[in-house]
Amino acid sequence: MEDSTCKMKLGVYTVYDKLTKEFQNPFNMPNDSVFLREIVNVLKDDKDNEIKKNQKDKVAYRIAWFDTESGEYENAKKALLDLNDVKIKK
């Protein structure tokens, strides 16, 4: 009998701080679009947060793909969005 489970890759994402020259702790999301939507939601939030406070210094990155079947990472480092370019309408 064949295994009917779907092979899935999750994106591994982080935010880079241009001032400190450090990447924040990474986390998984299904894909780039979902990650970018979440970043924009964080910037829209009325509450202060580290990303919003220092938005001009931040860049959103995908750093890898994680294969949920094999448990292996595939390097895929790519800057997706400079948060300084994001303008939120109030």
Per-residue pLDDT of 6-58, as tens digits, reads 669 999 999 999 999 999 999 999 999 999 999 999 998 877 888 888 999 99
Q: Measuring CA to CA, which residue among 15, 28, 16 is closest to residue 68?
A: 28
In degrees and rounded to multiples of 5, residue 26 shows phi and psi of -75, 160
User: How far from chain centre, in Å, is Cα 60?
Assistant: 6
Q: Measuring CA to CA, which residue among 6, 11, 7 is closest to residue 74?
A: 11
pTM beyond cutoff 0.95: no
